[in-house]
């Protein structure tokens, strides 16, 4: 892949340090005011190319995937039942579940034990919704994505790496189809 052909967007902000983001599949270069992107692009060339290769692989895998047409009501019922079962299985408790559209993740768990679920998850197959719920609730036991966390995940999902790759493939598919929702 030729580096000069990589599309990117530059955002100048009141930040101290420049950074690169690939949150939605597009390269975003966040720079302090007055800085140019060339130095950052050249410095992180191999990382950028590796990420782009990963994204292209996800897009290729996404071609074979189908989205599920599930009502909002059915989706919420499914999430509530999965949360109840998973919380019981792991011996933990959540405070509250919120549903909203999120731009960069499927779900998140707050420090006060509130689960926020991306409404776009309703288009995923049930086994992936199960995985996301389990993943987030496991954060009640271990907050970070460290070895202990992945050991918890692997007890139920031995092939969690495959699940994680699949989540990325669906991410690009769902965000392409439903980005305006």
Q: pLDDT tens-digit profile of 46-89? A: 889 888 888 888 778 888 888 999 999 999 999 999 999 999 99
Q: How far is 3 from 26, CA to CA, in rounded Å?
A: 14
List b or e across 21-48, with b for residues whose CB sees 16 or more CB atoms inside 10 angstroms: eeeebebebbbeeeeebeebbeebeeeb
Please state, in angstroms and rounded to a whole number, the distance separating the CA atoms of residues 47 and 18.
Answer: 15
Say yes or no to pLDDT of 14 above 70. yes
Average pLDDT value over all residues in the chain: 89
Delimit the domains of the chain by residue range: 3-62, 72-178
Asked whether residue 175 carries a pLDDT value surpassing 90, the answer given is no
pLDDT at 1 over 50: no
Which fold is adopted by the domain 72-178?
A: Zincin-like (3.30.2010)
- Asked if residue 164 has pLDDT above 80, the reply is yes
For the segment 106-149, what is each residue's pLDDT rounded down to a tens digit? 999 999 999 999 999 999 999 999 999 999 999 999 999 999 99
Give pTM, 2 decimals.
0.79
Bigger pLDDT: 17 or 175? Answer: 17
159 vs 93: CA distance, rounded Å: 26
Asked if residues 70 and 122 have their Cβ atoms less than 8 Å apart, the reply is yes
The pLDDT of 90-103, averaged and rounded, is 94
Helix (H) or strand (E) holding 118: strand 114-118
Cβ 157 vs Cβ 131: under 8 Å: yes
Location of structure tokens 């690939």: 22
Residue 181 confidence (pLDDT):
47
Residue 4 has pLDDT above 80, yes or no: no
């Amino acid at each position: 892949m030729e580096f000069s052909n990589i599309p990117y967007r530059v955002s100048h902000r009141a930040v101290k340090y420049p950074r690169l983001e690939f949150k939605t599949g597009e390269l975003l270069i966040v720079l302090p005011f007055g800085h140019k992107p060339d130095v950052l692009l050249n410095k992180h060339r191999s990382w950028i190319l590796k990420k782009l290769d990963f994204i292209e692989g996800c897009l290729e895998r996404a071609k074979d995937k189908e989205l599920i047409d599930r009502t909002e009501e059915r989706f919420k019922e499914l999430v509530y039942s999965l949360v109840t079962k998973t919380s019981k299985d792991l011996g933990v408790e959540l405070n509250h579940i919120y549903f909203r559209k999120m731009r960069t993740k499927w779900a998140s768990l707050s420090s006060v034990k509130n689960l926020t679920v991306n409404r776009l998850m309703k288009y995923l197959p049930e086994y992936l919704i199960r995985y996301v719920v389990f993943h987030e609730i496991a954060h009640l036991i271990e907050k970070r994505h460290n070895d202990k966390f992945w050991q918890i995940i692997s007890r139920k999902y031995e092939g969690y790496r495959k699940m994680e790759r699949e989540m990325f493939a669906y991410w690009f598919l769902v965000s392409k189809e439903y980005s305006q929702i």
